[in-house]
Structure 1
Amino acid sequence: MTALEPSTPVFPDAPVASLLHDDGFVALADGLQRRGGLRARVTRLATRARVGAARTPLAPRVVAPLAALPTVPVTVPDTRSGRRLAAKYAGRERGLPRDLAVSVLALPETPEDYLRGRSRQALRTNSRRAREQGVTCRAVDPAESARRLEEVVPDRWYRAIVPGAQADLAAGLCTGWVAEGPDGTTEVVALTSTAGPLARLDLMLSAAEREGDARYLLSAHVVTELAAAGTRLLAVDGALTLAPGLRHFQHLLGFGQATLDVRVA
């Protein structure tokens, strides 16, 4: 594939390669993280890369990792949950198309397969450490999810995050998960939403003083539970705006990057 050829659709259950340690992709993401800098030009080039129109000195370095992205089409049912997920990957966020460079993880039909192989060694090791510390994971009802969320959300985020998440929980549009310590203390909270074969990790937040192994254990728990329920693809958001630490975390979990084409049946 040349840099400006259209990407090739792949099946939702096919492995998607990670670009989170790719030098070109990382340079592009770092440029977006900087205030000013490449941001405006990268935004224009990111759009042009999809139609083969980029022709500037910056284009080869910026366009190549974007044009090489596969396209993952996934069809969701025409329900409130399905339309909500389709809307999450429509339009733009911070000037970038929401469906561009989305982090996606193909889920196996046999849930236990997710934790197998050398690429999951760090995930297994960190999850084991969390279990040895007495951390356990489970799904929680909307009321408990809302309460746990308030325990870990920084005050400055409260107005923006908690009310909307509580409304989604009350409406049955997302599911809450918690990793808790042996004394019941909240370690990590996650919210997921599902429609047909697609699930989205809407949120994962750790208690500020407890960042660490519990995130790995809860991630493994959520992935295997979703796989057991028949979900075939887990998506997050675009990876170009991720902080370096989150890039590495997603890489260890096995997320790859793709253009995510969500269609409503």
Structure 2
Amino acid sequence: MPFAGRARFRQWSRVIVTPMQHAPADVEQARRDSIEDMAALVAAKRSHPTEDFLSVLVHARDEDGDRLTEPELIDLATQLLLAGHETTVSLIASGVVLLCRYPEQLAALRADPALTPGAVEEIMRFDGPVDSSLLRVALEDVELSGVLVRRGEAVLAHVGAANRDENVFPDAAAFDIRRKDAPQLGFGHGIHFCLGAALARLEGEIALRALVDRLPGLDLAVPPETIAWRPPLSVRGPEEVPVTWAA
């Protein structure tokens, strides 16, 4: 997405990922805006391809047209952009809140850059941007943990609860960036594992490292309990994170 279009993109992307906070007409307008912007970007990549993922998708669609229709290409590209942007924004924002709530962890991270990858993993585990799965609908009766799920019924797996499982994460209620061997499920699992996980981890590490190194005395400018969070069933994260730091 061209950097110059960031304000418009940010406007419609926030509406799409938090539909319950907006009027249906506004959500529909945001979707129309997203289609318009992505169609223009696809056309630009088709005319002047570059070494990026979208250019590859456009080439694949044009060379083998029965695999993706043009609307499917636009929708796929939009979903990838939303999934890669909104989740990482929330990861960084949630990470700042957590580190400021646990100043001893922030001090440890400031003192030892080698803790940065582990900090990202612990943020994902403790309060990551994806805390529930998509709905799954049973194709037949199935028993899960002693509960009968009947054919046609929907099930929602709560990733946030799984990431606090004491059988997997000792002292799971503690936020600890030094935690080892913590197989958090924030990026999904199996065939649904996030294809952008490596990029998200890298972005998170770079952002946290820059904030810690460049902003001495980093702290929340408001009490943590006053920070507004997005509603359930949307990308989890703070609406905004006011901070202060030393001159």
TM-score (norm 2): 0.30
Larger helix fraction of residues: 2
Larger radius of gyration between Structure 1 and Structure 2? 2
Larger strand fraction of residues: 1
TM-score (norm 1): 0.28
